[in-house]
């Protein structure tokens, strides 16, 4: 069971990293970005296609990262230009349209068959007491912690971070103080798009995947972000890793393994019910 939990950390690290993207996007550009992972999928498949055309892995991966960054920046520009004054709920609904659109484009461009992706993080890193830690697990866990620490440093120690926080708190006031909301918003979309693609480049080669199942990793990522209340970066990482470890552990229990994919849904439901425990009847209705 412990080995399963350790194995599950690769997925957990990915949930944590995607959860961080969701948290940062919600905090800083007021959107629960349901298209977050789908943007990364465009990058992943760009890498796969360029690899199939004979590109070495490095340039192919760079092409994938660039594609995801550009797609994310374009979506951020659309959001900032046409829906700049919309509230978080409207912007989040629009991100669902982005998700559907990206899936449609992805099916047209890359086909619908599941495929195995080329990767550089297969195999084990080390084994202790019969428990194997894979390279993908180590990279995902370390990567999500580094991203959280880096984001915290940027938000608290740099003028850019201060401006992003100001913008998230009072967008109009920030703009009245010459803080360029549209440019910063596009930058946030681009950076989180790049991050989503980078995570998928590590995780996706570990299994045969298709665009839909990969894009729906946004659900456990959302559960991780909910653990952090869409605010705390540390708790989001813990939530993502915990969900991944729990899923991995359940996969090693014969009676329960068929239920492991329900873990994110149960987590989301439990957190939402818990978060409403102090609501009065009228407000909770």
Partner 1 sequence: MTTVTDLTLADVAVARGGAPIVRDVSLTVPAGEVTVLLGPNGAGKTTLLEAIAGVLPITSGRLTGGGADLAGLDRVARARRGLALVEQGRTVFTSLTVAENLRVVRRGAAAVDRALELFPELDKRMDVQAGLLSGGEQQMVVLARALAMGPSVLLIDEMSLGLAPVIVRRLLPAVRSLADDGVAVLLVEQFATLALGIADTAHVLAGGRLTHSGPAAPLRKSPELLHSAYLGEAAAS
Residues lying near partner 1 in the complex (CB under 8 A): 159, 162-163, 165-166, 169-170, 172-181
3-state secondary structure of 51: helix
Which of 85/113 has CB closer to partner 1?
85
Which of 166/271 has CB closer to partner 1?
166
CA distance 232 to 238: 10
Which of 85/129 has CB closer to partner 1?
85
Contacts of 191 (CB under 8 A, 6+ apart): 69
- Both tokens of 114, joined, read 């599941």
CB of 55 to partner 1, least distance (A): 41
Cα→Cα distances 272→24, 65, 242, Å? 20, 34, 17
Contact 114, 208 (CB under 8 A): yes
CB of 155 to partner 1, least distance (A): 10
CB of 177 to partner 1, least distance (A): 4
3-state secondary structure of 118: coil
CA distance 67 to 63: 6
CB of 160 to partner 1, least distance (A): 10
CB of 93 to partner 1, least distance (A): 22
Which of 116/170 has CB closer to partner 1?
170
Closest CA to 97 of 31, 13, 17, 160: 31
Which of 118/180 has CB closer to partner 1?
180
């Amino acid at each position: 069971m412990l080995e399963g939990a350790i194995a599950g950390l690769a997925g957990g690290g990915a949930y944590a990293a995607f959860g961080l993207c969701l948290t940062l996007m919600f905090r800083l550009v007021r959107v629960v970005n349901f298209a977050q992972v789908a943007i990364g999928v465009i990058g992943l498949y760009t890498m796969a296609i360029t690899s199939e055309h004979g590109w070495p892995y490095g340039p192919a991966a760079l092409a994938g990262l660039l594609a995801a960054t550009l797609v994310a920046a374009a979506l951020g520009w659309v959001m900032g230009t046409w829906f700049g004054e919309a509230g978080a709920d409207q912007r989040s609904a629009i991100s669902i349209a982005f998700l559907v659109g990206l899936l449609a484009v992805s099916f047209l461009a890359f086909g619908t068959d599941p495929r195995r992706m080329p990767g550089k993080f297969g195999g084990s890193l080390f084994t202790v007491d019969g428990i194997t830690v894979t390279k993908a697990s180590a990279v995902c866990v370390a990567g999500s912690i580094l991203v959280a620490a880096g984001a915290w440093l940027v938000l608290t120690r740099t003028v850019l971070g201060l401006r992003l926080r100001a913008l998230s708190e009072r967008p109009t006031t920030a703009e009245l103080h010459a803080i360029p909301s549209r440019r910063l918003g596009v930058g946030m979309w681009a950076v989180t798009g790049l991050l989503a693609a980078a995570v998928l480049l590590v995780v996706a080669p570990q299994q045969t995947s298709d665009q839909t199942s990969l894009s729906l990793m946004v659900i456990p990522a959302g559960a991780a972000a909910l653990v952090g209340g869409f605010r705390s970066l540390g708790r989001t990482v813990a939530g993502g890793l915990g969900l991944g470890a729990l899923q991995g552990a359940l996969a090693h229990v014969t009676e329960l393994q068929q239920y492991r994919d329900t873990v994110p849904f149960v987590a989301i439901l439990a957190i939402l019910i818990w978060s409403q425990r102090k609501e009065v009847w009228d407000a909770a209705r």
